[in-house]
Chain A
Amino acid sequence: MSLPLEIIKKKRAEAINRIIGRGFLSTKRVYVGMATCEIAAGSKEVMNAFREAIQTGLTDVYLTQKGCAGRCNLEPTVEIVEEGKIPIKYGRVTREKVREIVERHLKKGEVIEEWVIK
């Protein structure tokens, strides 16, 4: 019988493998806020827009939801995390903005500064 600590370390290793298996190591990780407040502000639309982008050919992106980070009046929020770069947080994202974020940021690597939460 193993000790709980050993078990949990094993579980963690397995969990990390599964996350990687889901594409965590993609160059860009996109987190969409999906708490009640975010959803109220329209984040479901945002999430769907990213999903559609992936379905229609956007690659090398790891898309996931996240809880509310707490910046309520700028919701919906989206984070784009890239290894070695400063994580970009977009605020008040809409379906239209997603289209641009996909085209400019995710595909071309251009940060759309005016939407960034500073």
Chain B
Amino acid sequence: MNAMNTLPKYIVTLCDGPTCMHQRSKTLKAVIEEELKKRGLYETTSLVLSGCLGMCNKSPIVIVNPGYTIYGGVSPEDIPEIVEEHLVKGKPVARLAIEEDYLYNRFYRVFGDVAFFGQQMRIALRNCGIMDPESLDDYLSLRGYEALAKVLTDMSPAQVISEVKKSGLRGRGGAGFLTGLKWENTARQKSDEKFVICNADEGDPGAFMDRSTIEGDPHTVIEGMIIGGYAIGAHRGFVYIRAEYPLAIRRLRKAIDEARREGLLGTTILDSAFSFDIEIKLGAGAFVCGEETALIHSIEGRRGMPRPRPPYPSQKGLWGRPTLINNVETWANIPVIVLDGADWFTTIGTEKSKGTKVFALAGNVQNTGLVEVPMGTTLREIIYDIGGGIPDNKKFKAVQTGGPSGGCLPEQYLDTRVDYESLQAAGSIMGSGGMIVMDEGVCMVNIAKFFLEFTQNESCGKCTPCREGTKRMLEILQRITKGEGIEGDIEKLERLGTMISKASLCGLGQSAPNPVLSTLRHFRAEYEEHIKNKRCPAGTCVDLLSYTITDGCVGCGLCRKKCPVGAISGEPKQRHVIDQAACINCGQCYAACKFNAIQKS
């Protein structure tokens, strides 16, 4: 990519998705660059390689902005014409331009030129950032509720289910169950009443995809749910949402009211025979309620404790009736599948994981934020190409996916493709989409302890392995990070962890040991270092630290003044010394020293 110092006049986007790449988009790039240079446009044109743009049947794809002209089936021979006519003369080449109106395109018109966004593919988040979430008009203008209308006009419930099945869409909440199959199972049940639930109890610490979706585009979730209700024969839907999301709740409430006013919710929707309405149910701060049976209990007004399955919610769910539960992101995909078609949808992603996945990219990474990429994108692409790599010249250490249920993957796994199977094989999980990047300053034992503290705190307390087992694992980890680890602790962690994951009642318990087991798998030496040598290689476990003053000390005395326990002594202008017995490892001297003369180890 040519470095730009001033804003470009044109932005030329080349799709670099697998299909386009196969169609030699790389050669195209060279040809374009050559043509630009020839005409002296190289400095004023930005050339961007994007992720898959989902127009594979017309590949290779070249997009020229402003104006968002899409050229399809471009060959190297076409390039001079495009550059001359469009970029020099400002007249798009009608012969090559294609009319594509995919729902996600609009996002690119606004954001496609920024590398962070250009590499992404926005399906669930297609409207987030380009419309007023509190305006039904805005949503309608972006073909909102057209999928619903299409379903009500042209499709039988069975056809809707078959389309969703064909799309290969899998639950975006974590487990990755085939959505269409879930719909089919629920549709098959005979019952006087059925329900649809949107799981918006986004509880992973560090994940906020669902909040952003609802805050940015609430109607898409509503539309998805109505279509789901139509497909399975339900007339009531519930959105179970965290009370900690007041803005999302307010926007959702407003969206529901407006949809109702416009005849998009309620009785005889859009003059059809179908009726459906949605209620909002608030969570109250319990991570476990993301588990579907716990969520159902919570909606029923009980403690959010999971129950054994079967019966599955599709058989016996809310108030004992067949219930279809999908999470926010899954629902947000539905209108796209209906309008742009399952055939199109299946062109995105990998063989077993279709479509895109939203990640909340955070931690020690340059560009933090929401990232939606086609399944099959590598971790490296997400962290380095989109995320911009690790800040402060630090080294990458691990990436954590799947939140407290997931695992930490080290550098050698950076080329893992994000899809359900690959991540699992690597020892982590897709989860709902938290992605935390960690640099060398993060201690893996400590991070495992952090996650276990979380699951321990969020354990509902019902089943023994999770309630008692995670507590014991946590105690062992606390011991290790304090330097009190003993021989055999690692084996105990493994023994407990394996038992807990195989014997716990629900997904929370079954996955609770994952952060420990995965760090044990990939960072075992770091554990051993803590236990055997009482050393924390990352330098974060306070009890294992020691501070020493090096030759760099000029004897300014600042550290001596800062030390709260008077453990530092030394004459002015002489090298100071820390009394290790008195030092409490608070680190204040380290922070205060202006000469980097204090060493932490």
Contacts and interface: CB of A to CB of B under 8 A. Distances in A.
Nearest to B139: A15
Given A15-B136, A70-B128, A87 B368 contact: no
A41 to B, nearest CB: 12
A116 B136 contact: no
B270 A68 contact: no
B512 interface: no
22 contacts: A1-B271, A4-B150, A5-B154, A7-B271, A8-B145, A11-B145, A12-B141, A12-B143, A15-B141, A19-B138, A36-B211, A36-B245, A64-B138, A66-B131, A67-B127, A69-B117, A69-B216, A71-B116, A72-B370, A77-B129, A84-B66, A87-B113
Interface string B143-186: 11110111011100000000000000000000000000000000
A4 B152 CA distance: 6
A86 B128 contact: no
B271 A67 contact: no
Contacts of A56: none
Interface in A6-45: 7-9, 11-12, 15-16, 18-19, 31, 33-37, 39
Contacts of A70: 117, 125, 128-129, 212, 369-372
Given A111-B7, A113-B7, A5 B153 contact: yes
B130 A31 contact: yes
B250 to A, nearest CB: 11
Interface string B94-126: 000000000000000111011111000000010
A52 to B, nearest CB: 19
Given A72-B370, A87-B110, A89-B111, A67 B150 contact: no
A24 B143 CA distance: 17
B503 interface: no
Contact of B369 (A9, A36, A65, A71): A71
Contacts of A89: 110-111, 114
Nearest to B271: A1
A117 B115 CA distance: 9
A77 B117 CA distance: 14
Interface residues of B, number: 63
A89 B150 CA distance: 35
A7 B65 CA distance: 34
Contacts of A9: 146, 149
A59 interface: no
A73 interface: yes
A2 B66 CA distance: 38
Given A7-B149, A72-B368, A79-B110, 19 more contacts: A4-B149, A4-B271, A4-B272, A5-B150, A5-B153, A12-B143, A19-B137, A31-B130, A35-B212, A65-B132, A66-B132, A66-B216, A68-B370, A69-B130, A69-B216, A70-B125, A70-B371, A72-B362, A86-B65
A68 B212 contact: yes
Contacts of B367: 71, 73
A36 B215 contact: yes
Contact of B129 (A7, A15, A66, A86): A66
B134 interface: yes
Contacts of A5: 146, 149-150, 152-154
A118 interface: yes
Interface string B260-278: 0011000001111000000
A8 B335 CA distance: 14
A81 interface: yes
Contacts of B287: none
A117 B271 contact: no
A5 to B, nearest CB: 4
Residue of B127, B131, B140 most packed against chain A (CB within 10 A): B140
Contacts of A108: none
Nearest to B133: A67
A39 B247 contact: yes
A65 to B, nearest CB: 5
Given A7-B271, A73-B368, A89-B114, A65 B262 contact: no
A39 to B, nearest CB: 7
A6 to B, nearest CB: 8
Contacts of B368: 72-73
A12 B140 contact: yes
Nearest to B6: A113
A11 B66 contact: no
Interface in A80-118: 81, 84-87, 89, 111, 113, 116-118
A4 B140 contact: no
Interface string B367-393: 111111000000000000000000000
Shortest 7 CB-CB contacts between residues of A and residues of B: A67-B216, A69-B129, A70-B370, A8-B149, A4-B270, A15-B140, A15-B137
Given A15-B136, A85-B66, A68 B129 contact: yes
Residue of A39, A64, A74, A118 most packed against chain B (CB within 10 A): A118
A8 B114 CA distance: 34
B107 to A, nearest CB: 8
Contacts of A77: 129
Given A72-B370, A73-B367, A66 B130 contact: yes
B308 interface: no
Contacts of B8: 86
Interface string B218-247: 000000000000000000000000000101
B270 A7 contact: yes
Nearest to A12: B140
B113 to A, nearest CB: 6
A37 B216 CA distance: 11
Contacts of A117: 114, 116
Given A8-B270, A19-B141, A33 B129 contact: yes
A67 B129 contact: yes
Nearest to B251: A67
A92 B110 CA distance: 18
Given A4-B270, A67-B127, A35 B146 contact: no
B11 interface: yes
A18 B114 contact: no
B141 A8 contact: no
Contacts of B129: 31, 33, 66-70, 77, 79
A92 B104 CA distance: 26
B539 to A, nearest CB: 25
Nearest to A75: B369
Contact of B215 (A4, A7, A35): A35
